[in-house]
Amino acid sequence: MIDAHIHLEKYDNLAERIEKWQAAGIEKVVAVSNDLASSYRTLELKTQYPDFILAGCGFHPEMPLPTHADFQEWLRLVKSERERIACIGEIGLPHYEIENLPASLQTYQEFLVDCVKTAEEHHLPVALHAVHDKAKIVYEILKKETPSLSAHFHWLKAPADVTRNITASGYFVSVTPEVCYRERDQQLAAMIPENQLLLETDGPWPFQGPFTGHETTPLFIETIINYLAQKNNTSPHFLRQKTKDNAWNMYGYLK
Binding site residues, Zn ion, CB under 5 A: 90, 202
Q: Is 154 annotated as a binding residue?
A: yes
- φ, ψ dihedrals at 30, nearest 5°: -95, 105
> Is the CB of 90 or the CB of 185 nearer to Zn ion?
90
Q: In what order do the strands lie in the sheet with 2-6?
A: 2-6, 28-31, 53-57, 85-92, 126-129, 151-153, 172-175, 197-199
Q: Which residues contact 53 (CB under 8 A, 6 or more apart)?
A: 8, 28, 29, 31, 42, 45, 46
Cross-strand partners of 87? 56
Nearest distance from C-beta of residue 36 to Zn ion, angstroms: 17
Q: Is 60 annotated as a binding residue?
A: no
Helical ranges in 9-65 per DSSP H? 14-23, 36-48
Q: Is 152 annotated as a binding residue?
A: no
Q: Is 123 annotated as a binding residue?
A: no
Nearest distance from C-beta of residue 90 to Zn ion, angstroms: 5
Nearest distance from C-beta of residue 176 to Zn ion, angstroms: 9
> Is the CB of 35 or the CB of 202 nearer to Zn ion?
202
Nearest distance from C-beta of residue 111 to Zn ion, angstroms: 17
Quote the CA–CA distance of 121 and 4 in Å, as a whole number: 23
Quote the CA–CA distance of 208 and 114 in Å, as a whole number: 36
CB nearest Zn ion: which residue? 202
> Is the CB of 96 or the CB of 238 nearer to Zn ion?
96
Quote the CA–CA distance of 55 and 9 in Å, as a whole number: 11
> Is the CB of 160 or the CB of 166 nearer to Zn ion?
166
Q: Is 90 annotated as a binding residue?
A: yes
Q: Give binding residues for a divalent metal cation as ranges.
A: 5, 7, 90, 129, 154, 202
Q: Give binding residues as ranges.
A: 5, 7, 90, 129, 154, 202
